Amino acid sequence: MLFRSFALGAAFLILPILLAWLYVPTAFSAHYADAGNQAKIQQVLNREVAQALYEKAVRWDPRYPEPHWKLGDLSRSQAVWMMALSPDKAAEGRRLAGVAAAHYQRALDLNPYSTEVLLRQGAALELLGQPDRALANYERAVALSPANAYNHNVLGRFYRKQGDEKRALEHLERAQVLNHWSDISTELNLIEMKHPEPAPAPPR
């Protein structure tokens, strides 16, 4: 009887400690991820602040996917800017796109069913000049969530960039059926594809 009482008391003592050990790192990680999101908005020209907060979130709980893909977003946005700026910055842009793809992959290792992260990694892979891998991401996102209009929108726009208008129309029309009001880019792409502007007359 005494042993049973001791065991019960020990359990009541250990259980809160165990729960705190499991919960506290995730709570701090979520806190710093949220702080990073706010810093990203408030300090657009100083991305280092948001990056430091996301990295702190990862250190608190490396199993929490959000700060990994938010770090990917920071690197990808920088890559887009670098590659658009000038040919001299293209190599650095590709390097940053590779960094972004790696961050996204860490998030996907933790949650392979996140269609949002699949789409973001696909965009980074496009910047890296790897359309086949990007396509695999986009198709997986559609397969995982076929009722999500945005997944079809992204895949349709990708096919359009690749010159596959038949598949582009299929997915863009599906996106419009699923959610006509959410994304005007679907309708604009469909209008441009179905009613292309006539080619300019040759000079006389």
Q: Average per-residue pLDDT in the chain? A: 83
Question: What are the residues whose beta carbons fall under 8 Å from the beta carbon of 176, sequence distance 6 or more?
Answer: 149, 186, 187, 190
**Which of 86-95, 112-121, 127-136 is the least confident region?**
86-95
pLDDT of residue 139: 98
Buried b (16+ CB within 10 A) or exposed e, 45-70: eebeebbebbebbbebbeebbbbbbb
- pLDDT number for residue 49: 87
User: Which of 64-68, 116-120, 190-194 has the least mean pLDDT?
Assistant: 190-194
What is the chain's percent helix, strand, coil content, to nearest 5? Answer: 80, 0, 20
Q: Is the pLDDT of residue 84 over 90?
A: no
Say what the pLDDT of residue 192 is.
84
Q: Per-residue pLDDT for 176 more than 70?
A: yes
Tell me the per-residue pLDDT of 13-29, one tens digit each, with 9 for 90 and over.
454 544 344 445 677 67
Q: 66: closest CA among 114, 17, 2? A: 114
Q: Is the pLDDT of residue 155 over 60?
A: yes
- Per-residue pLDDT reduced to its tens digit, 29-78: 776 676 767 766 665 567 888 888 888 888 988 999 999 999 999 999 99
Max Cα-Cα span within the chain? 106
| Whether the predicted pLDDT of 135 surpasses 90 | yes
Q: What pLDDT, on the 0 to 100 scale, is given for residue 36?
A: 66
Nearest in space to 64 (alpha carbons), one of 120, 15, 109: 109
Mean pLDDT for 128-137 is 98
Report the predicted TM-score, pTM, of the whole model to 2 decimal places. Answer: 0.81
Side chain identity, residue 179: N
The span from the CA of 97 to the CA of 94, in Å, is 5
CB-CB contact of 153 with 183 (8 Å): yes
Over range 163-181, report the average pLDDT.
90
Report whether 78 contacts 46 (CB < 8 A). no
